[in-house]
């Protein structure tokens, strides 16, 4: 099987894998999926993702279709590099292989400009036309005209607060803090029309490549607020050269007044996803983000 044959007959890939007709090398694929590098007969490689057997059940309906739709939608902006989808099946996704490299300041600045271009491509509404997932959890992508603040509270904060409360990940005081953020969401300012965003842009979903560029992987893409992508880049240790990324972004498309004070608000979504998925290990991070958001709400609205 070579790349041309694979493009023409994508449904044949599982059969070739089952009969060990393709060299398969496990690679790091994150916390959810099993991932491998497939080396084809012509020397090309592809990156394959499957639902892991350890899960004990099949992938949720639409799981890989959501990632496929998001990748294709991000690619149509012709802004940031996004791997091409080569095979999209209900239980398998195969993508263009990207040779890993090291980040550098010039690549970071280029990425900042490219991310601004991606966001400028826009979206017809908040949400998307496909069923959403973030990690292994469903994400409500029902298209919504906004305003952003109301949509964000309803679709991106409340569902994961409810899941985190139900699984005991948050204390009563932590739940109360997030509820206060939700109740005061209109006070934060910064409402904008929907941008075309990655939606799960923690640093691990930026692939720094050997060609000197940055690629976006594992999206939860939808129409959202551009500050959400930028805020998520600061989570879990932060992206390399984050100041360079943000500086170049600001030069390409300046952010609204008060954006720094809204960073914890935007980070709260992904942190609540983590308490919903992984439990109390992320409890303190949620509490800190909610407190910081509330502390900054007055400063964020000064220049409105």
Q: How far apart are CA 184 and CA 304, in angstroms?
A: 16
Q: Which CATH number is 105-300's, of 3.90.1200.10, 3.30.830.10, 3.10.20.340, 3.50.50.60? A: 3.90.1200.10
**Start and end residues for every CATH 3.90.1200.10 domain found in the chain:** 105-300
What residue has token string 């694929």?
29
Element (H, E) at 181: helix 172-183
**64: how many CB neighbours lie within 10 A of its CB?**
23
DSSP state of 210: T
DSSP 233-251: TTSTT--TTHHHHHHHHHH
Residues whose CB is less than 8 angstroms from the CB of residue 167 and which lie 6 or more positions away in sequence, other chains included: 275, 276, 279
Q: What are the beta bridge partners of residue 34?
A: 50
Q: How far apart are CA 290 and CA 154, in angstroms?
A: 16
Q: Does domain 3-96 have CATH number 3.30.200.20?
A: yes
Q: How far apart are CA 236 and CA 102, in angstroms?
A: 18
Active site residues: 200
Q: What size, in residues, is the chain?
A: 304
**126: how many CB neighbours lie within 10 A of its CB?**
26
Q: What is the pTM of this model?
A: 0.94
**Start and end residues for every CATH 3.30.200.20 domain found in the chain:** 3-96
Per-residue pLDDT of the chain (304 residues; tens, 9 = 90+): 889 989 999 998 988 888 777 888 988 766 788 899 999 989 899 999 998 766 667 888 999 999 999 999 999 999 999 999 999 998 899 999 999 999 999 999 999 999 999 999 999 999 999 999 999 999 999 999 999 999 999 999 999 999 999 999 999 999 999 999 999 999 999 999 999 999 999 999 999 999 999 999 999 999 999 999 999 999 999 999 999 999 999 999 999 999 999 999 999 999 999 999 999 999 999 999 999 999 988 654 443 3
């Amino acid at each position: 099987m070579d790349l041309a044959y694979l493009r023409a007959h994508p449904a044949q890939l599982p059969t070739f894998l089952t009969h060990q007709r393709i060299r398969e090398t496990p690679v790091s694929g994150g916390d959810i999926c099993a991932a491998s590098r497939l080396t084809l007969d012509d020397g090309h490689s592809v990156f394959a993702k499957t639902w892991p057997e350890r899960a004990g059940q099949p992938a949720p309906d639409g799981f890989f279709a959501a990632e496929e739709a998001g990748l294709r939608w991000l690619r149509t902006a012709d802004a940031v590099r996004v791997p091409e989808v080569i095979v999209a099946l209900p239980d398998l996704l195969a993508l263009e292989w990207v040779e890993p490299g090291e980040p550098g300041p010039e690549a970071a600045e280029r990425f900042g400009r490219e991310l601004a271009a991606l966001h400028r491509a826009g979206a017809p509404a908040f949400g998307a036309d496909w069923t959403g997932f973030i990690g292994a959890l469903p994400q409500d992508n029902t298209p919504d005209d906004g305003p952003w603040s109301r949509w964000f509270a309803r679709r991106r904060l409340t569902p994961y607060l409810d899941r985190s409360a139900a699984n005991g990940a948050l204390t009563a005081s932590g739940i109360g803090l997030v509820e206060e953020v939700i109740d005061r969401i209109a006070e934060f300012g910064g409402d904008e029309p929907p941008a075309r965003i990655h939606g799960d842009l923690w640093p691990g979903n930026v692939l720094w490549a050997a060609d000197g560029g940055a690629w976006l992987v594992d999206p939860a893409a939808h129409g959202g607020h551009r500050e959400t992508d930028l805020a998520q880049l600061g989570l879990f240790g932060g992206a390399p050269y984050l100041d360079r990324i943000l500086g170049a972004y600001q030069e390409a498309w300046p952010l609204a007044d008060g954006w720094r004070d809204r960073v914890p608000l935007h980070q709260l979504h992904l942190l609540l996803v983590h308490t919903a998925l992984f439990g109390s290990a992320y409890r303190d991070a949620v509490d800190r983000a909610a407190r910081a958001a509330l502390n900054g709400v007055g400063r964020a609205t000064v220049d409105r």
